[in-house]
Amino acid sequence: MQQEGLRLVVATSAKSQELFALLEVIKIEDLLAQTTTSAADIVRATPAKLQLQPNEAIVLGDTPYEIESANAARVDVIAFHCGGFDDT
């Protein structure tokens, strides 16, 4: 990804301590360009913070909220299902 000029950013509403514990478990810290946990509308704020246009970003989301936020921000989204929400 990095060789292609892509940047992986984790944007989450999780507390910093929780985020870093999760990143340690999945061992991707060396792939990350940035993390952010402090925005009311993370999906809209993160591309702007990275000086990207919405069409230059993709959201990976596992909740209806992330999909709604991505659609509202006009950011493409890849949705995946990992439990906790009804499919209706």
Rounded Cα distance between 4 and 83, Å, is 32
Top-level CATH class of 2-79? alpha beta
Average pLDDT over residues 7-14: 78
Rounded Cα distance between 1 and 71, Å, is 24
Average pLDDT over residues 2-14: 78
Query: What per-residue confidence (pLDDT) applies to 40?
Result: 58
Neighbouring CB atoms inside 10 A of 69's CB total: 18
Q: Is the model's pLDDT at 87 over the cut of 70?
A: no
Query: What per-residue confidence (pLDDT) applies to 36?
Result: 66
3-state secondary structure of 81: coil
Residue 65 identity (one-letter amino acid)? Y
Give 22-80 pLDDT, tens digit per residue.
Answer: 888 888 777 777 676 655 578 888 888 888 898 998 888 888 888 888 888 899 988 88
Return the domain boundaries, the chain. Answer: 2-79
Rounded Cα distance between 88 and 50, Å, is 34
In degrees, to the nearest 5, what angle opens at C-alpha 20 toward C-alphas 84 and 51? 90
**What's the distance, Cα to Cα, between the start and end of the chain in Å?**
34
Query: What per-residue confidence (pLDDT) applies to 31?
Result: 74
